[in-house]
């Protein structure tokens, strides 16, 4: 080493203690992640979102590849949600899920919560459930499901996919997802909701179809199965009311079928069979008394007709 280089190195070592306080101050002015997170939380409480965002971006940049970065990104995504930037928030959650396996479950749960919020009646734009950002919600839900099809949230995701398709006017597809959700969870909230979702579709389908006796009977079977399953959820009262209405509708439709044959162009035996069939299937209906009276009247007509037949 040349003498000049040795001389400079010696001076550097000698002067280092003089600069130690300055370096110490620099480190003190550079707080750790916990202090920065506390400051960001304080800014958020004060609705100072721009300042909070700057702090969280600083954390994410400094601690890239570490858990602090993942946490900061999750909080940044929440800020994006507050600002109505749902698509960007969803993508940031997905980035956390992809890059930080330990945070994947939390990120996916946040994604699902975001989707549900967009489908909620309390959505910011005030539109009816499921009518806001339909394509966006559908894409989001499918992405969350594909992230981990076997996760505990699977039944919840499939239920909301069913709800999406039901509100989008595709009850056949909705029914498929409701059945998937019910199968994914043998009991519990989402099994209950999915079971009732299928029953609700059949109920409204039967109610809107004036000639849908078979559909009404299908709705009755599913509603009775739902109630027999022992559900005690928030839908039980509604399901009981729907079942009562569906049974009354079945009675009315079946009675209309019997009345259809009660015309002169049909034989007395045909008309009698129609009312007897109705009484066999619906003995406790409101129309039962009328049907019994018609049976008696038609039997009397048969007796009278046989009485006037010539002997031999």
Given a cut of 90, whether residue 96 has pLDDT beyond it is yes
Q: Is 191 exposed, middle or buried (0-12, 13-18, 19+ CB in 10 A)?
A: buried
Q: Which residues contact 250 (CB under 8 A, 6 or more apart)?
A: 213, 216, 217, 220, 282
- What integer pLDDT is reported at residue 7 of this predicted model? 52
Given a cut of 60, whether residue 204 has pLDDT beyond it is yes
Confidence of residue 25 (pLDDT cuts 50, 70, 90): very low
Tell me whether the CATH fold assigned to 33-110 matches the one assigned to 152-256.
yes
Confidence of residue 37 (pLDDT cuts 50, 70, 90): confident
Confidence of residue 22 (pLDDT cuts 50, 70, 90): very low
CA distance 32 to 286: 77
Q: Of 49, 44, 48, 71, which Cα lies nearest the Cα of 60?
A: 71
More confident residue, 120 or 218: 218
More confident residue, 2 or 80: 80
Q: What is the mean pLDDT of residues 164-183?
A: 88
pLDDT digits (tens, 9 = 90+) for 229-246: 766 667 888 889 999 999
Q: Report the largest interatomic distance among the alpha carbons of the chain, rounded to a whole angstrom.
A: 150
Determine whether domain 33-110 maps to CATH 1.25.40: yes
Confidence of residue 3 (pLDDT cuts 50, 70, 90): low
We find that the CATH architecture of domain 152-256 is: Alpha Horseshoe (1.25)
Q: What are all long-range contacts of 295-303, with beta carbons under 8 Å and residues at least 24 apart?
A: 298/268, 298/271, 298/272, 299/272, 301/268, 302/268, 302/269, 302/272
Q: Where are the domains of the chain?
A: 33-110, 152-256, 262-312
**Phi and psi, residue 205, nearest 5°:** -65, -45
Q: What is the mean pLDDT of residues 140-158?
A: 82
More confident residue, 136 or 26: 136
């Amino acid at each position: 080493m040349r003498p000049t280089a040795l001389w400079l190195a010696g001076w550097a070592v000698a002067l280092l203690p003089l600069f130690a306080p300055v370096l110490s101050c620099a480190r003190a002015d550079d707080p750790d992640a916990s202090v920065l997170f506390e400051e960001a939380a304080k800014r958020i409480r004060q609705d100072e979102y721009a300042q909070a965002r700057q702090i969280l971006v600083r954390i994410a940049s400094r601690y890239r590849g570490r858990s602090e970065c993942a946490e900061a990104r999750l909080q940044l995504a929440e800020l994006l949600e507050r600002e109505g930037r749902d698509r960007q928030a969803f993508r940031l959650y997905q980035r956390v899920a992809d890059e930080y396996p330990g945070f994947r479950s939390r990120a996916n749960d946040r994604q699902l919560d975001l989707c549900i919020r967009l489908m909620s009646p309390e959505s910011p734009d005030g539109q009816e459930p499921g009518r806001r950002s339909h394509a966006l919600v559908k894409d989001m839900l499918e992405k969350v499901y594909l992230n981990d099809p076997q996760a505990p949230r699977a039944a919840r995701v499939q239920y909301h996919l069913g709800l999406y398709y039901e509100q989008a006017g595709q009850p056949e597809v909705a029914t498929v997802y409701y059945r998937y959700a019910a199968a994914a969870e043998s009991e519990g909230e989402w099994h209950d909701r999915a079971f009732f979702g299928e029953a609700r579709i059949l109920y409204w389908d039967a109610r809107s179809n004036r000639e849908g006796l078979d559909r009404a009977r299908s709705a009755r079977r599913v509603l009775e199965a739902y109630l027999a399953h022992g559900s005690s959820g928030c839908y039980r009262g509604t399901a009981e009311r729907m079942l009562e209405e569906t049974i009354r509708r079945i009675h009315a439709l079946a009675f209309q079928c019997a009345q259809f044959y009660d015309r002169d162009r049909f034989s007395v035996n045909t008309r009698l069979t129609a009312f007897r069939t109705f009484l066999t299937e619906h003995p406790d209906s409101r129309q039962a008394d009328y049907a019994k009276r018609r049976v008696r009247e038609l039997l009397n007509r048969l007796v009278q007709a046989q009485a006037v037949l010539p002997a031999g």
